[in-house]
Amino acid sequence: MAQTAGTARPPFPNYTQIPTRVPGWVWFALRAASIATALAVALLLVVNPERGRVLLWQVLVPSLPLVMLVVPGLWRNLCPMAALNQLPRMAGFTRGLAHTPQIREYSFVVGIALFFVLVSSRKWLFDGSGVASAALVLFGLGGAFLGGLVFKGKSGWCSSICPLLPVQRLYGQAPFAVLPNAHCKPCVGCTKNCYDFNPSIAYLADQYDDDRHYVGYRRVFAGALPGFIYAFYTVSTDESLPQIYAHFGLWCALSLALFQVLDVFLKLPRNRLTVVFGAAAIALYYWFVAPAMASGVEQLGGVSIPPAAPWALRTVVIGIALVWIVRCFRTERLFLEHVIQKTAQQGARVGENAAQAMRRASSRQQAEVVIQPDDQRIAASAGQSLLEVIEGCGGEIESGCRMGVCGADPIAVREGMENLSPAESDEKSTLERLGYAPNTRMACCAKVQQGRVAIALKPERRKLPEYPTSSQYDANIKDVVIIGNGIAGITAADYARRRHPVCAIHVVAEENHPLYNRMAITRLIYGRSAMQGLYLLPDKWYEEREVTCWLNTTASAVDPAAQAVTLATGDTLRYDRLILAMGSSSFVPEIEGHGGAGCFVVRSANDAMEIRRYAQATQARQAVIAGGGLLGLEAAYALTKLGVQVTVLDRNPWLLHRQLDEPAGQLLRRYLEGLGIAFQVSTEIRRVARSDDGHIYVRLSTGIEVPADVFIVAAGIAPNIALAQACGIATRRGVIVDDHMRTDVPNIYAAGDVAEFDGRIPGLWPVAAEQGEVAAVNALSGDRTYREPVAFTILKVVGADVASVGRVNPEGDGEEVIVHEDAAEYQYRKLVVDRSGRLAGAILIGHPTLMSGVTGAVKAQRDVTAELASLKVGDWSALQAT
Amino acid sequence: MDFTSFFNYENPDREPESASPVFLAQLSESGWSKLLGYAQHRRFAQGETLLEAGEQSRDFYIVANGRLEAVARTEQGKEFLLSAIEEHSIIGEQSFFDGLPRSATVRALSDGELFRIDAKALEVMSARDPALARDVVADLARILSLRLREMTQRLLRIVR
Ligand SMILES: Cc1cc2nc3c(=O)[nH]c(=O)nc-3n(C[C@H](O)[C@H](O)[C@H](O)COP(=O)(O)OP(=O)(O)OC[C@H]3O[C@@H](n4cnc5c(N)ncnc54)[C@H](O)[C@@H]3O)c2cc1C
Ligand code: SF4
Ligand code: FES
């Protein structure tokens, strides 16, 4: 809500905001009368000093402090000195000068000094002399008038050197009744923190000023005042002049010292002590002056005042002073609350354009995701995945494939499951593998559609821990051995157990980690979360499924005749069925000079951690990555995040040659360059050289030489086939399998990156998972034919938003290609439609909302003949996820 | 402290309000829409704590609507109000720059909405839309620099 200006009265109104009850001409008349009265008093003081002195010193002056405390505005408006001071301004003959810095600094001090000197001089001078008193009155009137002639506003007297000003400022700070300034029309800004301008805040503003001297003058006055008053009524007029002033000086000093000590030790809010001292001074004053006042009224009025009257006055004043203290304290609290927030560093603001844009954005986002237990409420637009939503608000979540196959990002849906896109097959099998409670979803796949969804970032355990296994199984199978603990091996173990509740299942794992998210290992290079974040299975996964996992153990030989696997530990595992899931290693082509310190590949978690360690230990500044494929680019981004300047080399003319066409590759390149990655394309590495001090230089076919503290080869994969070759299993690049994942040796199957089916080794996670499942089903006497999943890849570099699915280039004539590019907006989308009108492939850059719909449609090879016309003109709503 | 807003002699009717700097005042509405495209959109409820003092997170927020307050705690554990945050304010830009723990706790005084821009969003913005990212950073820097000037001014008054 905007501030409700005008409706509510501000807590500290200035004089234009305070209602005026007395018309201007009344003030005018009253002021004329007040000047006349002052002159008359002066006259009386001369002609009848006796009565004059009583009138001035026993009646008029003693009344003033109370007026200044209760209705300070009354005196400000009525004071004859002020009236004369303002005469030149009204009549238009003031010079209207501003104060010089010196005057500004010391005028208030002069006022204080005048007050102390003049009042203390009453003792020997004014109290006893009508003429002197008359002169004093005239001095005040004349001084005020002269000041008004020279200086602007009230700065010639009333707001500068007037001896009554310190008293008025101190006591006027919490008026019981506020009368607005009737003088200044308009304000000319003559004085700092003007009382006449803003009565209720002026004194506090003084007290909280940054300038300690400015504050100090005012505090000294308040601190000395009680002592001064006491001195006034205890000094003996018989003393000599120096003694009289010494008496005043002593008491003022005592009073000030007390003030200082209390100030230091009580640690009160700044204005409290001044208020307390002010109240003490005024109570003290009326305590002493009350009898004199009573007698003054008696003398002048010729009436007799009851003897209790002074006591009554004392009591009343003490009462008022106490109430005043409370009012002052309250005002200060209000001031602190209200003013500190106004004056403390104000946040920067945004302008109207931003407001408009925000309104527009708000109206677009209909859905809402609530993240428990903090109940963070995120506004989401339809089609956003929970993963995007969580990442966007900085929530703690892991991710890998971003397409439901790796299992990195399970979350619990607490409310609103019906408002999410339903789980599809990839996600379903991942969920089955993980085995959490039924309310679990993979955040990357669950897209918010509408309404409210409440989630928790930790998935819940399943109530029934037993594992659903089939009751019919092949009892002849007693031992299943799986070599490899990657996704192919683990999926195989999972399905083996589902199909066979009692057989022994052994998984031999060379690495020292349970199944982890290989796709996310580049995060180990730069991220804060270490290995822990990459583990993909719940704690007791192996245990619950009675799968024996041999971590850190290499299978060194297979004996197909004996149906046994020998481990490097010397153990032997007998098998009825063997599944080879050894995955692959990084392919490193022959490069002259390659090898040694600083040369790396990125295949395993340990590789990634070693790169991080090495880069930090050697304070690597530059890196070269050979290969502009998915892995190369992800590694490049990771090293950039470590602060390393990265150059990516590729022999092809554009990046992600297998997944993108040229314009898309170029667009991506510009984006990555924006992130600080450099590229050399259409080039080959000639050799790797080392300088004398061991620095690596990569010499390119273009003649360029790139220095590298770290050199990473990301040039594809080499399946781990040595073990299979050694025991006579047929291999080419990989272990050759049929559509049941059988090798040519009975009872031996292969799956994942190690397997070559139909001459192809896609080297993709979903393929490995699917093959692992098919291998296990068939190994355990089932019958499942493998169908290769449609290739789908995402570049896991922040903000790159690149997805490629299926076949991205047309083959032969008659295929339809639809391309829409908006390079300035970082958007590119392409569809390949085959001759029969079915979707064969797509590229999406910068179209997050199209992602799930388009990839789903391509995977399903949807017939788009009917929508072709609208797709061509850029309307892809038919493909948007529902 | 500066109380000039309560003594606005030239224009007594103006609301006392300090002239706070405007972030990206020149940016067009479509420019803003683009910028918000990189941001996270969050809703908050009255009483919710949005930022906790001492927390470390590299992000800043633009309040779309609703009111918030920033409070700090003294060493003795006394809480005091630092500032009231109205809609259309920017908060948190200091930690966004220096990455140090938040100096204040921010709580919602009403329901509302805000947009969050974190280091990652800025990273993506600078790769996709370098000019915009440059403007964002430069203008935040300008605002921080204004603050610094204010502090210097204040220091001058204090040490006088
Ligand atoms: C950085 C990176 C990013 C990737 N990104 C993607 C992506 O975005 N999308 C995608 O689809 N794919 C991606 N991949 C590929 C994907 O990770 C692999 O296709 C997948 O991991 C293959 O699984 P697998 O189980 O067949 O083999 P692996 O995961 O390689 O597992 C094989 C395991 O067997 C072990 N092993 C090997 N020999 C033996 C032995 N003799 N004895 C015991 N154990 C042995 C190995 O140590 C290894 O642990 C990426 C890969 C990397 C490295
Ligand atoms: S500052 Fe303005 S209101 Fe105050 S005395 Fe001067 S002219 Fe009058
Ligand atoms: S399953 Fe969601 S990131 Fe892999």
Tell me how far apart the alpha carbons of residues A795 and A638 are, in angstroms, rounded to a whole number: 13
Q: What is the CATH number of domain A358-456?
A: 3.10.20.30
Tell me how far apart the alpha carbons of residues A806 and A839 are, in angstroms, rounded to a whole number: 9
Mean pLDDT of the A369-373 span: 90
Tell me how far apart the alpha carbons of residues A171 and A186 are, in angstroms, rounded to a whole number: 25
Q: What is the pLDDT of residue A876?
A: 93
- Interface check for B130 against chain A (CB to CB < 8 A): the answer is yes
Mutate to test the interface with A, among B2, B4, B6 (most CBs of A within 10 A): B6
**Residue A436: HSE in the Cβ half-sphere, 13 Å Cα cutoff:** 24
Q: What is the pLDDT of residue A340?
A: 63
> Average pLDDT of chain B?
86
Q: For residue A556, which atom of ligand 1 is closest to its CA? A: 41
Q: How many beta-carbon pairs under 8 angstroms link A with B?
A: 219
Which pLDDT band holds residue A369 (cuts at 50, 70, 90)? very high
Tell me how far apart the alpha carbons of residues A287 and A62 are, in angstroms, rounded to a whole number: 11
Question: Residue for token digits 């659903």?
Answer: A468
Q: For residue A387, which atom of ligand 3 is closest to its CA? A: 2
Q: What is the DSSP letter of A185?
A: S
Peptide bond into A13 cis (omega under 30): no
Tokens of residue A728, six digits: 């006579």
- Is the predicted pLDDT of residue A335 greater than 70, yes or no? yes
Tokens of residue A194, six digits: 């003007």
Tell me how far apart the alpha carbons of residues A14 and B13 are, in angstroms, rounded to a whole number: 8
Least confident range of A4-13, A51-60, A621-630, A791-800: A4-13
Here the ipTM equals 0.88
Which tens digit of pLDDT belongs to each residue from B53-66? 888 888 999 999 99
Give kind and range of the element (H or E) at residue A370: strand A367-372
Residue A375 CB coordination number (10 Å)? 11
Mean pLDDT of the A524-542 span: 87
Which pLDDT band holds residue B10 (cuts at 50, 70, 90)? confident
Helix (H, G, I), strand (E, B) or coil at A194: coil
Q: For residue A189, which atom of ligand 2 is closest to its CA? A: 1
Residue ranges per structural domain of chain A:
24-342, 358-456, 479-585+719-779, 588-715, 801-879
- Report which of residues A338 and A814 the model is more confident about: A814
Q: Rounded to the nearest 5 degrees, what angle is found at the Cα of A447, between the Cα atoms of A767 and A637?
A: 60
Tokens of residue A634, six digits: 């992800």
Q: What is the DSSP letter of A436?
A: B
- Interface check for B16 against chain A (CB to CB < 8 A): the answer is yes
Question: Residue for token digits 């993963």?
Answer: A387
Q: What is the pLDDT of residue B17?
A: 54
Interface of B with A in 68-107 (CB under 8 A): 69, 80-91, 93
Tokens of residue A605, six digits: 């978690």
Which pLDDT band holds residue A468 (cuts at 50, 70, 90)? low
Tokens of residue A858, six digits: 């391509």
The DSSP string of A797-847 is STTT-EEEEE--S--STT-EEEEEEEGGGTEEEEEEE-TTSBEEEEEEES-
Question: Nearest C-alpha to atom 3 of ligand 3 is from which residue?
Answer: A402
Which tens digit of pLDDT belongs to each residue from A279-300? 999 999 999 999 999 999 999 9
Flag if B88 and A349 touch (Cβ within 8 Å): yes
The architecture of the domain spanning A479-585+719-779 is 3-Layer(bba) Sandwich (3.50)
- Is the predicted pLDDT of residue A7 greater than 50, yes or no? no
Q: What is the pLDDT of residue A9?
A: 67
Task: Give the closest ligand to the alpha carbon of residue A767.
Answer: 1
Cα first-last separation, chain A: 37
Which pLDDT band holds residue A5 (cuts at 50, 70, 90)? very low
Which region holds residue A525: left if phi is over 0, alpha if psi is between -120 and 50, else beta? alpha
Beta-strand (E) ranges in A627-765? 645-649, 678-680, 685-690, 696-700, 705-708, 710-713, 717-719, 735-737, 748-750, 755-757
Give kind and range of the element (H or E) at residue A377: strand A376-380
Contact B18, A346 (CB under 8 A): yes
Contact B45, B107 (CB under 8 A): no
> Average pLDDT of chain A?
92
Which pLDDT band holds residue A344 (cuts at 50, 70, 90)? low
Q: What is the DSSP letter of A59?
A: I
Q: For residue A407, which atom of ligand 3 is closest to its CA? A: 1
Tell me how far apart the alpha carbons of residues A586 and A606 are, in angstroms, rounded to a whole number: 13
Tell me how far apart the alpha carbons of residues A366 and A381 are, in angstroms, rounded to a whole number: 6
- Is the predicted pLDDT of residue A85 greater than 50, yes or no? yes
Q: What is the pLDDT of residue A17?
A: 86
Give kind and range of the element (H or E) at residue A556: strand A555-559
- For B160, which of A211, A375, A391 is closest by C-beta distance? A211
The DSSP string of A625-643 is EE--SHHHHHHHHHHHHTT
Q: What is the CATH number of domain A588-715?
A: 3.50.50.60
- Is the predicted pLDDT of residue A4 greater than 50, yes or no? no
Which pLDDT band holds residue A6 (cuts at 50, 70, 90)? very low
Query: Of A381, A435, A448, A368, whose CA–CA distance to A407 is shortest?
Result: A435
- Is the predicted pLDDT of residue A416 greater than 70, yes or no? yes
Q: What is the pLDDT of residue B160?
A: 66
Tokens of residue B116, six digits: 């969050």
Mutate to test the interface with B, among A7, A16, A196, A350 (most CBs of B within 10 A): A350
Tell me, in angstroms, the distance from the centre of ligand 3 to residue A433's CA. Answer: 13
Same fold, A479-585+719-779 and A588-715: yes
Peptide bond into A186 cis (omega under 30): yes
Tell me how far apart the alpha carbons of residues A392 and B40 are, in angstroms, rounded to a whole number: 6
Contact A458, A446 (CB under 8 A): no
Strands A696-700 and A705-708: antiparallel
Which tens digit of pLDDT belongs to each residue from B78-97? 887 777 788 899 988 888 88
Tell me, in angstroms, the distance from the centre of ligand 2 to residue A323's CA. Answer: 29
Q: Is A766 in the pocket of ligand 3 (CB under 6 A)?
A: no
Tell me, in angstroms, the distance from the centre of ligand 3 to residue A461's CA. Answer: 18
Q: Rounded to the nearest 5 degrees, what angle is found at the Cα of A855, between the Cα atoms of A849 and A857?
A: 110
pTM, 2 dp: 0.78
Q: What is the pLDDT of residue A345?
A: 55
Tokens of residue A812, six digits: 């032969």
Instruction: Count, in order, helices (H) and strands (E) of chain B.
Output: 4, 9
Tell me how far apart the alpha carbons of residues A786 and A806 are, in angstroms, rounded to a whole number: 17
Mean pLDDT of the A363-379 span: 86
Helix (H, G, I), strand (E, B) or coil at A86: helix
Helix (H, G, I), strand (E, B) or coil at A246: helix
Contact A160, A152 (CB under 8 A): no
Which tens digit of pLDDT belongs to each residue from A87-146? 999 999 999 999 999 999 999 999 999 999 999 999 999 999 999 999 999 999 999 999
Question: Nearest C-alpha to atom 1 of ligand 3 is from which residue?
Answer: A404
The DSSP string of B36-94 is HHTSEEEEE-TT-EEE-TT----EEEEEEES-EEEEEE-TT--EEEEEEE-TTBEE-HH
Residue ranges per structural domain of chain B:
30-159
Contact A800, A819 (CB under 8 A): no
Tokens of residue A392, six digits: 């966007």
C-alpha distance from residue A252 to each of A226, A231, A248 (Å): 8, 8, 6
Instruction: Mention the CATH class of domain B30-159.
Output: mainly beta
Tell me how far apart the alpha carbons of residues B152 and B66 are, in angstroms, rounded to a whole number: 32
Flag if A189 and B5 touch (Cβ within 8 Å): no
Q: What is the pLDDT of residue A849?
A: 83
Flag if B15 and A5 touch (Cβ within 8 Å): yes
Instruction: Mention the CATH class of domain A801-879.
Output: alpha beta
